[in-house]
Structure formats: C-alpha cells, structure tokens
Structure 1
C-alpha cells in the first residue's frame, strides 16, 4: 500500500465536488486509454505513509488537527479503490496542515521514532525493527510531505489523497 496525492486547482476542486467520479481520472489518469501514460502523482510517500502518520500523531489510525490530518485526514470522496476511498482536504485544512508541519522540528519526530512501539501498533509496513535506515526512509518522505503541503497552501489549492 502506498499513499499518493495531488494538488487541485480551483477548477479541479469544483469538478470533484460536482462529480466525485472525476477523482479517479485526476489521481490515476485515463485507465481506459492504453496509449496514455499514467501521470506521476505529485506526492508519492511509498510505504512510509503509516510510519509518518505514527510519528505525527503517536497513534496508528487516529486523526488529529493540523499535522495529524496530513496523511489520513480529509473527507472521503469517490469510490473505494480497495484501501478506502480517496480523501479531499480543502484549502483551509491544507493551510493548517502546512503550518503545523512547518512548525514541527525534525528532532521531535526523530525522538518519537520507537521501533518496538510501532511494531506493536502494527504500523505498516512491518520493517521498523530492521535498523536505523527506516528512520531515514521516513524522514526523507516527511520532507516530501512538507513540500507538497507547503506548495498547496502557497497556491491556495485543495489536496486529494489516496492509498493504493
């Protein structure tokens, strides 16, 4: 399971709200057209998403305000692709997430990294006790997450997230 995200312009947001079936095309491209290349997602956290969520919230699935909404927050929209429906975060939520992520010190997140607790909480994927490389893996993707939300907030964009 990987988490992907896409920033939405005002026009795309209006289209998604008017017709939630457009979500799949925005996230995955035209799946019926074999000649079309799949668009690269603007955010691809690979399998780090659940570990980052744990570092942000200290929980496996609870969603909080601010940074706690960065991974699993938002309103469900569109069809369930197997791991739950995509989620839509509006511009106000994006700004709150971006601000909270910018205020989080990476040292605080590093201090929250507890491989035994993450394993006990069944934080996906089950790699946390393999060694210190997992923390570096999480921090590199956390940096991507911060950039993604910062760009969305700066450009007054909504965000669409999906676990695929």
Structure 2
C-alpha cells in the first residue's frame, strides 16, 4: 500500500474532543466526506509547494506536513493538527499558487534526485497532469472549504 496522506476537517466540537483526548485522533479518519485523500501524491505536492523535501516553507508549506503532533502513532508518526487560523493561512497560500506555477515547478529529474516519494517522476509529464494536478486541485478545494467553515484540520501520513 505504501505511505498515503489524508487530511480531515474538524468541527469546533471535534476539535475540542481531540484536544481533550488526543487518543481519539486515530478513530476520526474514516474516509468520509470531511476528508481529502492525496494517496501517494503528498510528497510530490509538498516538494512543488515548498521547493524542499521535508522543510515547511511559505504560506502553503504547512498544507501537508505542517501542524503540531497530536495523538498516537498512526503508522508514520502521529497526526498533525492545524488550528483554524493556520488553516486560513494555508488556504490563502494554496489559492496564491495557480496550476501554471505548479507546473513550472515540476522537474522530474530534480524530484527523482531528491528521492521524492513515490519515485515515479521519471515517467514524465503525465505524472503531473494525471496525478499531481488533480490531487492539488482537491487539496486546494479542501482547504478553501475548511477555512470558510472556520474548522481545524488533522493531517496524517499512514
């Protein structure tokens, strides 16, 4: 299966529950409508948004690997929590990145050399158009909608 990324929107009530009992974090990821699943595109998107393998840079940088650790290990460490103010900042940062800018940052050779997971970048531009771009669009929409609702976000790579 490999390492996959999921983000889940948390209402105010769910956020209060998670803060009171971080052990509940793992039970919240259920594949429902309050989630966005980036599959294995997470690392490629993080690289395109930040220009780095794991560092968090820029307003959109925390979209995938940001937040504060919370709860038990879910496979690749604990989930990470972005509070509503951080979600609004990430949403604005993602809205500032258009498809053409993201495409201009796509460099399959550099991504392969940087060992960006899932190591498929030598396949060429199809990976951008058919894999990264649709997942980026879903991520941007998720953050935009979550910010508009004033909700928090849980991030997990499992």
TM-score for the superposition, normalised by structure 1: 0.91
The runs of at least 4 aligned residues of structure 1 exceeding 6 Å deviation read none
Match of 1:161 in 2: 155
1:53–1:68 contact (8 Å) kept in structure 2 = yes
Match of 1:141 in 2: 135
Match of 1:95 in 2: 88
Q: Would the alpha carbon gap of residues 8 and 61 (structure 1) be closer, same or farther in structure 2, given more than 3 Å must change?
A: same
2:50–2:56 contact (8 Å) kept in structure 1 = yes
Match of 1:10 in 2: 12
Residue among 126, 138, 150 paired with 2:119: 126
1:101–1:146 contact (8 Å) kept in structure 2 = yes
Higher strand fraction: Structure 1 or Structure 2? Answer: 2
- CA–CA distance in 1 between the matches of 2:34 and 2:78? 17
1:4–1:41 contact (8 Å) kept in structure 2 = no
- CA–CA distance in 1 between the matches of 2:92 and 2:83? 14
> Structure 2: any 5+ residue segments left out of the alignment?
none
Q: How big is the alpha-carbon RMSD for the aligned residues of Structure 1 and Structure 2? A: 1.2
Aligned residues: 155
Larger Rg: 1
TM-score for the superposition, normalised by structure 2: 0.94
3-state SS, counterpart of residue 72 of structure 2: coil
